[in-house]
Amino acid sequence: MSKNSNYFFLFLLAASVIFPKWIVTGIYFDNSILVDTIFNVEDIQYFPIIINLSDFILNPSYLENINENKILPFPTYGILIHSLFYKIFKIYSFLILEIIFQFTFLVIFFKSIEKIFINKNYSFYFCILTFLLISLLELASFYENNKYINFFYNNLNENLGLRLPRPLFTGIVFFYFFFILYSFQEKIKKFDLKFFILISFLLSVFLNSFFYYFVNFSILLIFLSIKYQKKKILEILIDNKLKILIVLLSYIIFSLPFVLQFIYGEQDYSERIGVIQLTLKQKLFLSNYYLSNLLRLESFVLIILAFIMHFYLNKKYYYIRDQINKINIFFYFVVVSIIAPVIFFLISPKIVSIYHFLDILSFIIVFYLILSFSFIFFQKIKFVGNYDKKNLFKYILILTLFFNNVFIAQKITHENQVKLIELNKIQNFFKKSNFVNSKKKLFSDDLIIMNLWLLNGNKQLSISDGFTNSLKNKDIEFNLVNNLKNFGISSSEFKNILSFGQSELRNDFLMRLFIYKYQANSLFTYSEISNYTEDFKDKILKTSPFRAQSQIMPEDEKNRLVKLFNKIQLDKKFFSDLIIINRVNTLKNLKIYNREYKLVFSGNIYDIYLKP
């Protein structure tokens, strides 16, 4: 299998993953490229940040009358390339980068596996069979709502899939890190300066793209340093003081964006994404809860299987030590992923979205087991590599993956055809009404509509996603109340939006504005437990501390917002010019009483009101 042949088949593999969804939407719908992109790109929540960063707007408010807010402390490395490409290629940048990133990922993935399997054909089979497994698991999940199918599919897809920016971008760095760690034992002996500057760069990328990888890989580096040079580590540090200083300075320079965001970032944004200050009591509770949950049957079985596999591989295949040592790197990452959360909980004064630690642990165990079983299989079954028509077999596998993904895309598209048709009508409405590159203000409760509005070059949103703006919470509250009261809704209707007097788990509209601000679980509640309704108090105390998504607005907060609604002095300069409401979402019962707004479109999902 020649080098060019490797890249050719890897490109076909990338194409079989990416192109089916674009082909299906292109065939079945005469959509705008904007609509197709919103529908086909995973996790469009990052679109507004990419758009603003492309114009070097670091403190997006989406309102021209609010521009004194601090910068958005968002991990920019994960979307930096997308912002640069968006500046040049606009909407087409998303498809272009999907192809580039997916192909790059597969090349890195293939090369990291090839170092283990040695045989190029085996390495390619592992790559394609892994993606075929993901595709088959997704297909199975359509017909069987099985928690084990969902568990394996989610673990693999969320770490090997096309979600922006993780794993589409971070997946490349993740496997490249393993690729260079294969030579760590050799490089640390002479403390190769270029090697460790590269390490410092990759760590800084993790720090400002996916912080949890930064924690785990940092601990892994310490673990490997001690394991490989436990008797000489102090000697290495003393003999290479200047090199270590250069590496540290390099790391500081690479990490400057993170440092600047930490200093100048909007504090209310940190509250919205769920940053929690921990007390010693909370640290101990969290650590104990985590360790106890490792003993749950599913978790315990997976961990034990990983350890058994490790001992089996090292005993059975001791004679191919170089290959086994590379597999062991993944096992060491399993070990580190087990202990890293506790270390982080005890050392760090703050935490945020700690469920990611569990996701990393689950994935690396599943991946390590798949990798190990595949290695054993290819060691025992030799005929595949010698098969005369091995290229034909590769084509068959790629075509199987391609048509399986076409079928999945057809099913997803069919389930969303009503929404796609209406989105295209709204896009045509924007064009006909000259809502392109305008300064008009849109009020919408729908993230898709917000993104479609911004992708058309419009800059202003009356209310925007709390994850992508750097507004203070009081400004978000004011803009919401100011517009709703202008629409003519009453205090009682506003109470209904807030579910006043009854606790509600994950109000989608409030989560769009405040994200994880109102966490309510056994570790943390935004307000005293007495401020929640009786039927939810016990549920909150029994909710896992890793459930940042458990969002319940307490009654004292609802009271405060109702008082704001009743006392507010309306400000015309923040009134909306256009209203688009999703009749399936939380605001499905919202009525626009203000006669200045005329209903100009009413569909199965969306209603559009326009102020002439």
Domain boundaries, the chain: 3-406, 420-610
Confidence at residue 290, expressed as pLDDT on a 0 to 100 scale: 97
Mean pLDDT over each residue of the chain, to the nearest integer: 94
DSSP for residue 544? -
DSSP 126-168: HHHHHHHHHHHHHHHHHH---HHHHHHHHHHHHHHS--TTTTT
Please state the pTM of the whole predicted model.
0.94
List the one residue out of 14, 12, 28, 18 whose CA is nearest residue 410. Answer: 28
Task: Please give the average per-residue pLDDT across 336-361, as a whole number.
Answer: 97
The lowest-confidence range among 65-69, 185-189, 448-452 is: 65-69
> Does the pLDDT value for residue 1 go beyond 60?
no
Tell which wins on pLDDT, 234 or 405: 405
pLDDT band at 154 (very low <50, low <70, confident <90, very high): very high
Query: How would you list the strands of the sheet with 578-582, edge to edge?
Result: 460-461, 441-444, 578-582, 606-610, 598-602
Confidence at residue 2, expressed as pLDDT on a 0 to 100 scale: 60
- Give me the long-range contacts of 475-481 (CB less than 8 A, separation at least 24): 475/61, 475/66, 475/69, 476/513, 476/514, 477/561, 477/564, 478/564, 478/568, 478/571, 478/574, 479/63, 479/574, 480/513, 481/561, 481/564, 481/565, 481/568
pLDDT band at 5 (very low <50, low <70, confident <90, very high): confident
Task: Please give the average per-residue pLDDT across 462-491, as a whole number.
Answer: 97
pLDDT band at 441 (very low <50, low <70, confident <90, very high): very high
> Does the pLDDT value for residue 34 go beyond 60?
yes
Confidence at residue 257, expressed as pLDDT on a 0 to 100 scale: 93
